[in-house]
Structure 1
Amino acid sequence: MSALRKKFGDDYQVVTTSSSGSGFNQPAPEKKKKRQRFVDKNGRCNVQHGNLGGETSRYLSDLFTTLVDLKWRWNLFIFILTYTVAWLFMAFLWWVIAYIRGDLHRAQDPKYTPCVANVYNFPSAFLFFIETEATIGYGYRYITDKCPEGIILFLFQSILGSIVDAFLIGCMFIKMSQPKKRAETLMFSEHAAISMRDGKLTLMFRVGNLRNSHMVSAQIRCKLLKSRQTPEGEFLPLDQLELDVGFSTGADQLFLVSPLTICHVIDTKSPFYELSQRSMQTEQFEIVVILEGIVETTGMTCQARTSYTEDEVLWGHRFFPVISLEEGFFKVDYSQFHATFERRGWEEQLHGLPGEPGGQGQHRHQAAIQVAENARGRLRPGRAPHASQAPEDELYHVRDDLPGEHGRPAHEAAAHQLRARRFRRETGEQDGL
């Protein structure tokens, strides 16, 4: 603790220190009923298409993409089955030609010239096809010039074999070279955090790249998924709203050679403008993060996804630094990649939010009300504060000596509510808030 305060100052407080000393972790959230996610932490979308009816024929119109999207076990099964059926079918055609011409019964006659030399049953016809298709050419079985139908079949076999090879081998190659596995080495922090940064209330999360190869033209986007009802009464499930993570300034274009903290400023244009710690306990939303870039080694586009639900957003936390300067290089400590710490008394900075001149007036008053509501949400009856949290006097200290509108203290009401609650708690009275 002393080392942390020596480095960051006395206004920070460690949330949890692991027993092994490996780093700092966030406090264990309250047990909450697990709800259905739209996007899993690993990026898989929990969406199933049903009742397609006659629309399933559209998959056959794009057969190549359909095969590539199949799972590996089905790809291997179709690969083996297609070659096996094609080989048996072509061997059967060679056997039919030999049977119609009578080569099977006169194969041992030295004066007779068959269509294909030394083909006298189905296994020998199958071996001739394999030797021809694979261009092995042992020299024992060969086609003669006395068989025009065999020459035509040989041309058909060459064309059909080229088409099957191009289709199946191309499908397997595309599937193996897909950059989906590249996304496994792109990391997202387990939690997002809301805290002050550069004097602004900011939603933050962290991304990292485990490989030394770079992601070219890396770009990040965020979507807020939240059900809502329009003023006309229409219910919109999973309505998608864009979260600005630097599109206007170019901050969404990443140079991802070391872990970066992505920021979304919570201002009047943000969907989280009315958000408070107390409202996070009741509302349901999901933040979907999409990271796209070009794989440097293959030149293919890669996309990595993750999501954060409302219980995975930590209020008043910041991420622990992971980059240190060594002798001749910068070192990234990924053991602290997900670690966060809580800043003590950071809500007081909300009093200086820009609004009217000097940061005073209505914005300051709303900030104080928000602080009071957060105190109610954290200190409800029957719910004790976390052991790692500071006392209420330190966490929710409200300054009532700042001038507000009409010359009156702007935070008098909020401060009075906190004092009344503290008094009732000390005297043993029932807290009704």
Structure 2
Amino acid sequence: MCDIIFGQDNCFNCDNPDDSTRKSHLSSPSVYRKAKRRALYKNGECNIVLENVSKLRRRYMQDLFTTLVDARWRWTLCVFVLSFLLSWLAFGIIWYLIAFTHGDLTPENIDNPAWSPCVINMKTFMASFLFSVETQHTTGFGYRMVTEECHEAIVFFCFQSIAGLMIQAFMVGIVFTKMARPKQRSQTIMFSKNAVICRRDGQLCLMFRVGDMREKSHLIGTTIQTRLIRSRVTPEGETLSPHVTYLKINIDDHDERVFLMWPTVAVHKIDQDSPLYGLSAADLLNERFEVIVVLEGTTESTGQTTQARTSYTASEVLWGHRFRPLVKYCKTKLMYEVDYSQFHEVFKVDTPLCSAKDLETYLMINEAKVITRFH
């Protein structure tokens, strides 16, 4: 009967689905798997390269603020320094040209006390550069100053003051935004290295562990979303690759917002609505899929929304394993202790090797036999 329901390769002890004599090689993480192909790295970065995008650089330059915020620190700081140096130099050249066109730099006027220059004590290009720096940052040493002689100098003085404020606000805003990004908060969010499949409350479940290492500042309104990425062929023969499917997640019997006081295990029940309903332990060895996990929450201390991501390929899903408990109550300290050294640890448990669909079919047949026998 077992061969008929589950097939010769997926057979387990029908009389006792928890029989420890199941094929251990199917649940071993060291079994040969196909090479990993993932859309999302374990650290949350997307493994996607854009090719043949028209006018890509122009589009990035049109959104310069976001481009600089997303750039590496060395490039952001390089642009930060160059923006001030180049603006000082450009405005210094213009100040030098204003003085030159007015005749302030001619030999007969440069040391003539009766001559009224546009800018007092600006006789060289270095002096014009220093005056540009003093004007842009309102330093005002008092040695060089604009006179009423040149209207163009007065207008340009006002223009540089406004432009300097805009440059400073823009660049300081970029650096501040880059430093205060909630992306750094995600570094203290941990996901288990592997996901596991085992039975819970008599039903096969896909599970992974997530935890927050911060003790003081917790995440508020945390939500966890999971997606399954794998190829799918429609009844019309169309191949959808990649195809994204939603996986419903429950945490402690709640499917809404969670509070990560301690590491918790997220559970996806493999039922009739699950895309993994027909997946068996043998299928897992040859299957190509990826489970994308996205955690979002609001940082308690800053009020900013942060996001942490990870993924599990088929080779990172262990069939017939369960996570080790981490939380215990210490009577001497009168508080709960969390042992993070066991965060990624799993242990083997008796688990049927067939799919949830076949298991449900088998249990229904057994139940029908029992009812028939009593009647």
Contact 1:287 1:307 in 2 (8 A): yes
Task: Provide, for residues 396-433 of structure 1, a one-character-per-residue CA deviation record: whole Å limited to 9, x for no partner.
Answer: xxxxx99458659xxxxxxxxxxxxxxxxxxxxxxxxx
Equivalent residue in structure 1 for 2:334, among 325, 328, 331: 328
Partner amino acid for 1:175? K
Equivalent residue in structure 1 for 2:132, among 129, 132, 135: 129
Map 1:29-44 onto structure 2 (within 5 A).
29-44=30-45
Note closer, same or farther for the CA distance 1:278–1:42 as it changes in structure 2 (3 Å cut).
same
1:33 CA drift (Å) = 4.6
Partner amino acid for 1:89? A
Task: Provide, for residues 250-304 of structure 1, a one-character-per-residue CA deviation record: whole Å limited to 9, x for no partner.
Answer: 4241101210100011111111111111110111111010001111222211111
Partner amino acid for 1:39? L
1:66 CA drift (Å) = 2.2
1:332 CA drift (Å) = 0.5
Contact 1:189 1:205 in 2 (8 A): yes
Partner amino acid for 2:264? L
TM-score (norm 2): 0.84
1:330 CA drift (Å) = 0.6
Equivalent residue in structure 2 for 1:162, among 165, 169, 179: 165
CA distance in 1, matches of 2:352, 2:118: 92
Identity of aligned residues (%): 42
Tell me the residue number matched to 1:254. 258
Contact 2:212 2:260 in 1 (8 A): yes
Equivalent residue in structure 2 for 1:120, among 95, 119, 123: 123
Worse-matched range after superposition: 283-292 or 163-172: 163-172
Map 1:350-369 onto structure 2 (within 5 A).
362-364=361-363
**Other structure's SS at 1:47 match:** coil
Contact 2:60 2:67 in 1 (8 A): yes
Note closer, same or farther for the CA distance 1:203–1:348 as it changes in structure 2 (3 Å cut).
closer
Partner amino acid for 1:294? T
Tell me the residue number matched to 1:383. none
Map 1:182-193 onto structure 2 (within 5 A).
182-193=185-196
CA distance in 2, matches of 1:55, 1:133: 34
CA distance in 1, matches of 2:140, 2:161: 15
Map 1:277-356 onto structure 2 (within 5 A).
277-326=281-330, 327-343=333-349, 345-347=350-352
Equivalent residue in structure 2 for 1:148, among 148, 151, 158: 151
Contact 1:39 1:288 in 2 (8 A): yes
Task: Provide, for residues 299-321 of structure 1, a one-character-per-residue CA deviation record: whole Å limited to 9, x for no partner.
Answer: 21111111111111111111100
Contact 1:288 1:305 in 2 (8 A): yes
Contact 1:103 1:115 in 2 (8 A): yes
CA distance in 1, matches of 2:29, 2:294: 26
Note closer, same or farther for the CA distance 1:254–1:224 as it changes in structure 2 (3 Å cut).
same
1:201 CA drift (Å) = 1.4
Higher relative contact order (CA closer than 8 Å, sequence separation 6+): 2
Contact 1:191 1:205 in 2 (8 A): yes
Tell me the residue number matched to 1:82. 83
Note closer, same or farther for the CA distance 1:349–1:39 as it changes in structure 2 (3 Å cut).
closer
**Other structure's SS at 1:268 match:** coil
1:188 CA drift (Å) = 0.2
Tell me the residue number matched to 2:267. 263
Q: Which ranges of structure 2 fall in alignment gaps of 5 or more residues? A: 1-17, 21-26
Tell me the residue number matched to 1:100. 101
Task: Verify: 1:64 aligned to 2:70, yes or no.
Answer: no
Worse-matched range after superposition: 212-221 or 74-83: 74-83
**Other structure's SS at 1:246 match:** coil
Q: Quote the RMSD (CA, aligned, Å).
A: 2.8
Note closer, same or farther for the CA distance 1:12–1:234 as it changes in structure 2 (3 Å cut).
closer
Tell me the residue number matched to 2:8. none
Tell me the residue number matched to 2:49. 48
Contact 1:116 1:141 in 2 (8 A): yes
CA distance in 1, matches of 2:19, 2:105: 92
Tell me the residue number matched to 2:6. none
Tell me the residue number matched to 1:73. 74
Q: Which ranges of structure 1 fall in alignment gaps of 5 or more residues? A: 1-10, 14-25, 356-361, 369-400, 409-433
Contact 1:107 1:119 in 2 (8 A): no
Equivalent residue in structure 1 for 2:174, among 167, 171, 175: 171
CA distance in 2, matches of 1:230, 1:404: 39
Contact 2:33 2:286 in 1 (8 A): no
Contact 2:137 2:164 in 1 (8 A): no
**Other structure's SS at 2:310 match:** strand
Partner amino acid for 2:363? R
Equivalent residue in structure 2 for 1:236, among 240, 251, 266: 240
**Other structure's SS at 1:256 match:** coil
**Other structure's SS at 1:253 match:** coil
Task: Provide, for residues 94-123 of structure 1, a one-character-per-residue CA deviation record: whole Å limited to 9, x for no partner.
Answer: 111111112123232222221111100100
Note closer, same or farther for the CA distance 1:354–1:46 as it changes in structure 2 (3 Å cut).
closer
Partner amino acid for 2:81? I
